[in-house]
Structure 1
Amino acid sequence: MIFCPLCKNILNIENIANMNNLICMTCPYTYKINKEINRAEDNPTMVVDEVMGGDEEYKYASTCTKKCIKCDNNLALFMELQTRSADEPMTIFYQCTKCKTNWKEN
């Protein structure tokens, strides 16, 4: 990807009069391509972290009376997170206190 030196937006490839050009869609900048452009960048593999806290995600969670979807236990840990837009209800995540099964309700 090559960026516009004037406005810093990404340049798009466009064929004008049988010549490829890099043009900016925001400002009038145009770069005429007269040679092959090759540029390689190493993108290191990212280590994925536990999004919700790993083994201790329910460490400080409250308990409620909720029937487990797997073992029919009636006690679960729960936490509420805003996973969608602010005008939509929060998502409730549950974990059974007996079998550690996780499930959610939107």
Structure 2
Amino acid sequence: MLGTITAADFQPLQGQVCIFETVNPTLSVRLTVEQVTSRPDCQVPGAGEGREPFGVLLSGQQAEVDFTSATGVLRLGDGATLEGVYINRVLPPMGGDPRPWYQLVFN
């Protein structure tokens, strides 16, 4: 499913909470889908008619465990599950925001 998901699939999830989970070590965090950004400039030249690259910006809860990066399962608010998702921590888009921020990159 990771190879077929598009930015349009994430757009309706903005503002909704999803759950990111890993197995080893065990981690389960609630993340809010904040922003979905199409990145046509990141298309690999000569790649043909493949999916347009996009990124998803997520925010965590201030008091929740934060992490740098992980691969796991993302349970979306619409009931869908994405397996093998790589997520990494990023700087807050707004200075001074105490919540942990993460991104998903699809290319």
TM-score in terms of structure 1 length: 0.31
Greater relative CO, 1 or 2 (CA 8 Å, sep 6+) = 2
Greater Cα radius of gyration, structure 1 or 2: 1
TM-score in terms of structure 2 length: 0.31
Please identify which structure carries the higher helix content: 2
